[in-house]
Chains A and B, each alone.
Chain A
Amino acid sequence: MSTVANRTGTSLRASLTGWSVRGILGVVLLVSVLFFGVPLLWLVLATTKSGHALSVNNPFSIGTVHDFAFNWSQLFDFQDGAVGTWIKNSAIYSVGALVITLVISIPAGYALALTEFRFRRALLVVTLVVMLIPNTALVLPIFLELNVVHLIGSPLSVILPMSFYPFGVYLTYIYFSTSIPRDLLAAARMDGCSEFQVFTRVAMPLATPVIALVGFFNFVQNWNNFFLPFVMLPSSKGYPIQVGLTALLASTPSFNPSSAGAQSIQLPTLALATMVSVLPVLLVFLFSQRFLIRGMTAGGIKE
């Protein structure tokens, strides 16, 4: 009898602790969701408010279409449409570098994986080491180098360095060395394909997933790059939107009291600028999430 009572006693106590542990964990989860989720939600709502409403109203109230339109026009009228130019620049730099990256990386990864040449191994080791270095580490040395050849201020000064993307070569290399049956390539050769045709007609179509993956990662990194364009492009006309944000910040009286004047920017307009500056990347993150996560966790995609 006593043992039975004892046992129910413990299991009751166990389930009680179980419940309180669950309760605590639930609260912890909730806090984490608020921490990661609220800033983005708030940012979206802030773009629809007036400066007054932003500081007085409930932070999670929705503003008006009128205020959103006002913020929009204030943002895009800033310095005679500078923001539009910056977004266009961002697009040119990111897409330009993306195209060059793909043209360079895909054949290189293919050659590293499936062909033999001198210094192949050395190039592979350099690729691995360089791709693990943060991309900011080489920015000043690249500036000093490009300064010698008078490229500073030219779009090429950001497009070319961004097109050096060892991680893309590595991803392609892994893909070609693990996921493409060599018999298939051999069969194509037997059928009379030249080496170049083997690449364009057989290997490339099979590699579409990895090409897309390299493209995504490269685009996201290019769009968000701040340090490189900040250093390379002295003129505000050449800024990408990420660097343009500093100019907007400098014109916001809340963060720079000396800037109050005709060209000054309100807080909600600055929030809209932040939103606009990340929109392309945010869309990529939202709509290709599964794809990106697979790339992040698989690396080699297929083993």
Chain B
Amino acid sequence: MKSNTSDGSSVGAGFLRRRSALADSPKRRMAPSAMSYAFVGPYLLFTIAFGLGPALYALYLGFTKRDGSGFAGFANFTHVMKDFRFVPAVEHVGFFVGIWLVALIILVTFFSLLVHSIGANRVRTSLRTIYYLPGALAGASSVMLWLFLLDPTASPANFLLRAMGMDSFNQVVVPSHMPVIFAIIAFWAGAGGWIVIMYGALNNISQEIMEAARIDGAGPLQLALRIQIPMIRKWITYMVIMSLAAGVQLFVEPQFLSQATQGSIPNDYSLNQLAYQYAFKQNDFHGASAISLLLLIVALSLSAIFVARGGLFDKE
């Protein structure tokens, strides 16, 4: 799911900078020609095959009966929601996303401001690199690395784990610790990209405004609270929306931990894992579609709200 950050985070810039992503001027655009269709045709084909098509097919499966005998109404949805694993999965994902978002909002803002306030150019650049590099390990590799870090027999931070009374891997990876652990992994791999983006946004605040505030007697704290944070608020909103959409999709992290703990973290821990179980262990594609649709609706609504209210970001 974090693989999304590497490009997901970059998506916003265009929206936020341009007055509106859709408000391009029609002036002097060429008349329709065979070439336009030839250029856009393959992309249109892929959009249908791997964007709209699967969504529509999932919609079809989600609303038809499991025995293939016609329209099922919401039966598949109520069926999966009544599954004893459904509510826990929602709770797991909810706790994780909650912790992760709070950490992102507070710490990314804080560290962006802090790094931005450092005088020495070289220090600023090195700090950004150090924060940013873990992003290369998005997905499976970052979870793998954290399996080591959470194992007191190998971890370089084993003194911390022991200080918290955890002497073995099995004591660290108990189910109640999971939301925090997943949040830490996601934060470690993803926060740097956001810090870089916020840093860029801070750089774009006009020096005149900052100088005027300083002359009026504003200290660093007041500058941050009254000027810098309000001016990068749209980026923070953007980060929250993208992270929320990605976080709900949790899959790789619990999948690896479930394997590494021989199932003491269940393999239906998250909603996406539950959908996977429906499709591959129960051969219930209709149930799997129902869960996928629920997740897709969350992602789609967040994305649609963002696109539709793009104008919101224009009002500085």
Contact = CB atoms under 8 A, between A and B. Distances in A.
Nearest to B42: A104
Given A108-B40, A128-B307, A115 B140 contact: no
A282 B13 CA distance: 23
Q: What is the interface of chain A mostly: helix, strand, loop, or mixed?
A: helix
B206 interface: no
Nearest to B50: A164
A271 interface: yes
A79 B43 CA distance: 40
Interface residues of A, number: 114
B190 to A, nearest CB: 11
B288 A140 contact: yes
Interface stretch (A3-11, A66-74, A294-302): A294-302
Interface string A15-58: 00000000001001100110111111011001000000011000
A110 B37 CA distance: 11
Contact of A32 (B131, B135, B153, B303): B131
A215 to B, nearest CB: 12
Interface in B30-79: 30-33, 35-40, 42-44, 46-47, 49-55, 57-58, 61
Interface string B5-19: 011111111111110
Contact of B43 (A37, A105, A161, A171): A105
B21 A128 contact: yes
A111 B39 contact: yes
A169 interface: yes
Contacts of B15: 299
A188 interface: no
A270 B295 CA distance: 33
A145 B7 CA distance: 26
Interface string B281-300: 00001001100100110011
Contact of B134 (A36, A59, A121, A195): A36
A202 interface: no
Interface in B259-281: 259-262, 272, 275-276, 279
Interface in B155-174: 155-158, 169
B272 A296 contact: no
B30 A225 contact: no
B31 to A, nearest CB: 6
Contacts, number: 337
A174 B4 CA distance: 20
A141 B54 contact: yes
Given A37-B130, A39-B145, A140-B276, A221 B260 contact: no
Contacts of A212: none
Nearest to B242: A132
B183 interface: no
B141 interface: yes
Contact of B288 (A133, A144, A277, A278): A144
A36 B46 contact: no
A93 interface: no
B251 A114 contact: no
B18 A141 contact: no
A224 B260 contact: no
Contacts of B201: 297
Interface of A: 25, 28-29, 32-33, 35-40, 42-43, 46, 54-55, 59-60, 103-105, 107-108, 110-118, 121, 123-138, 140-145, 148, 160-161, 163-164, 166-167, 169-171, 174, 177-178, 182, 195-196, 199, 217-218, 220-221, 224-227, 230-231, 242-243, 245-246, 249-250, 254-258, 267, 270-271, 273-274, 277-278, 281-282, 284-286, 289, 293, 295-300, 303
Interface of B: 1, 3-4, 6-18, 21-22, 24, 26, 28-33, 35-40, 42-44, 46-47, 49-55, 57-58, 61, 111, 114, 127-141, 144-149, 151, 153-158, 169, 188, 191-193, 196-197, 200-201, 242, 245-246, 249, 251-252, 255-256, 259-262, 272, 275-276, 279, 285, 288-289, 292, 295-296, 299-300, 302-304, 306-307
Given A298-B13, A298-B17, 14 more contacts: A32-B111, A110-B39, A115-B39, A123-B47, A134-B4, A134-B245, A140-B276, A144-B57, A166-B51, A227-B272, A231-B276, A274-B141, A285-B136, A296-B200
Question: 7 shortest A-B CB distances, which residue pairs?
Answer: A299-B13, A297-B200, A141-B54, A299-B14, A108-B43, A132-B303, A59-B156
22 contacts: A39-B188, A40-B145, A116-B31, A123-B40, A126-B52, A128-B307, A130-B303, A132-B245, A133-B300, A135-B3, A140-B276, A140-B289, A170-B14, A195-B33, A220-B7, A221-B7, A250-B259, A278-B137, A282-B136, A285-B136, A297-B197, A297-B201
